[in-house]
Amino acid sequence: MTKKTFQAPRGTRDLLPDDQVYFDYLNSTFKNVVKAAGFRQITTPAFEDTNLFVRGVGKETDVVDKEMYSFVDKSNNSLTLRPEGTAPIVRSYLENGMQAWPQPVKLYYTMSMYRYDRPQAGRYREFWQYGLEMIGDKDPFADVMVISTAYRFYQKLGLADHITLQLNSIGCQKCRPKYIKELTSFYKENEKKICNNCKSRVESNPLRLLDCKEAKCQALIEEAPQVINFLCTECHDHFKKVLELLDEINVTYEINPRLVRGLDYYTRTVFEFWTDRDGSQNALCGGGRYDNLVENFGGKSTPALGFAGGTDRTIEFIKSHPEIEILESRKVDIFVVQLGNEARKNCLKLLSSFWDEEVAAEGGLDKEGISGQLSHANRLQAKYALIIGQKEAYDQTVIIKEMASGNQETYPLDKIVKEIKKRLK
Ligand code: HAM
């Protein structure tokens, strides 16, 4: 009887070494950009108290209502695998006394997230986000700093020409209720024209009506009242300043009055970066202000904002642009080829010397002949093969073979590490 084989759970996948090259490249580019802007790294637990997300993200959102991986542990605590990073980071801000740190507190993260979503290209149940949060700054400068940091990151990835910044303001606790009232009555008047999902959203989460992808709802969305026309003076001035500052630094944007985001904590500025590819998974990142969340979690009133991007989705987008080069595609710099017992010993010593110097080196320590080892070096895309045959082992020398040109020369063994480091520079 054949034994059952196992598969990764639906919506998850293995990140194989070739995928990892992209993940490392994206994460290190992100880290370089955000560290230069003064953000420091935070990692929160993979699971949290379920109520953190219910209260923070909102009971009526898809994320909380349909997508959470929740479980009860052996002590009867209800816990949830984090579906997003903002609520946990605000929890950590309060729990670790960060209100007493110099404000704003600027944090970044690269973490896995879990949502029971319908898997498709660019959408997984376990996925990764790169993101940042800036807590304790109410000024429109902060909005522009966060948005332009995201933009700079996409520029560094070579994606700037293929994305657009979508921008909106959804007001505050003062002005939004008036808009919601208007929106709700508009939808009630048109109830016959909308899908069943939207019928329940009219009461539970009216802002999400503007996000419906059903064809029959799309036409109505065009006619619906726009939140931007209901902003109070403070929200209006804040948004105007954000636009002016973006103009100032030449970051172009599209004002999108339908952009509302799927999580309940947002106030004022919301934004997403969209790709120029068709399809529903075209948001590389999303974010905005959440000026009430710290207070909602029991802290004193503290303005905050941030964004998070989908690592998997961004990588898929990079891959769809083959002209974008990933720097670390060469896997090893050096491959040491050896023949005979003495040569094997030298090979091992030489590899250790390279590794001490953090030069990526591998060697043919098995019994394969020279041509087998050289073709292995080729497969690994090594830049140089260093060949130690019986004669070289006796002379304490090594042959340097440049793999691209095939050029060879003999070099003293004790000087080879220094020489190779020089050439690799
Ligand atoms: P979000 O829009 O829910 O925002 O997620 C941010 C990004 O994560 C999306 O734009 C998308 O690229 C990626 N993403 C979301 N769901 C999936 C999925 N199932 N598979 C693959 N990628 C996905 C947030 O999470 C907020 N916490 C962002 C934020 C930070 N707002 C303020 N600070």
Q: Is the torsion defined by CA of 177, 181, 183, 184 positive or negative?
A: positive
Looking up residue 59, the CATH number of its domain turns out to be 3.30.930.10
From ligand 1's centre to the CA of 137, what distance in Å? 22
Which two tokens mark 107? 């944090």
- One domain, residues 247 and 379: no
Q: Let me know if residue 209 belongs to a domain.
A: no
Q: Let me know if residue 183 belongs to a domain.
A: no
Q: Let me know if residue 157 belongs to a domain.
A: yes
What's the pLDDT score for residue 330?
Answer: 55
Q: Let me know if residue 5 belongs to a domain.
A: no
Nearest atom in ligand 1 to the alpha carbon of residue 67 is: 19
- One domain, residues 256 and 382: no
Q: Quote the domain boundaries for residue 256.
A: 17-175+231-319
Quick one: 164 exposed, middle or buried, by C-beta within 10 A (0-12, 13-18, 19+)? middle
| Parallel, antiparallel or unpaired: strands 126-135 and 105-114 | antiparallel
- One domain, residues 270 and 419: no
Q: Let me know if residue 207 belongs to a domain.
A: no
| Parallel, antiparallel or unpaired: strands 334-338 and 361-363 | parallel
| Mean pLDDT, the chain, whole residue set | 93
How many domains, in total, are found in the chain? 2
Q: Let me know if residue 40 belongs to a domain.
A: yes
338 versus 364: which is more confidently predicted?
Answer: 338
Pocket lining: 85 vs ligand 1, CB cutoff 6 Å? yes
Of 270, 295, 319, the one marking the end of a domain is: 319
The edge-to-edge listing of strands for the beta sheet with 334-338 is 361-363, 334-338, 384-388, 397-402, 408-412
Of 319, 349, 382, the one marking the end of a domain is: 319
Confidence of residue 327 (pLDDT cuts 50, 70, 90): low
Of 287, 319, 351, the one marking the end of a domain is: 319
Nearest atom in ligand 1 to the alpha carbon of residue 287 is: 31
Q: Let me know if residue 161 belongs to a domain.
A: yes
Whether 29 and 70 have beta carbons less than 8 Å apart is answered as: no
* Per-residue model confidence as pLDDT tens digits over 126-149: 999 999 999 999 999 999 999 999
* Per-residue model confidence as pLDDT tens digits over 167-226: 999 999 999 999 999 999 999 999 998 999 899 889 888 998 998 888 889 889 989 999
From ligand 1's centre to the CA of 262, what distance in Å? 9
Q: Report the percentage of the chain scoring pLDDT > 90.
A: 77
- One domain, residues 39 and 126: yes
- One domain, residues 281 and 389: no
- One domain, residues 382 and 295: no
What's the pLDDT score for residue 358?
Answer: 87
Pocket lining: 308 vs ligand 1, CB cutoff 6 Å? yes
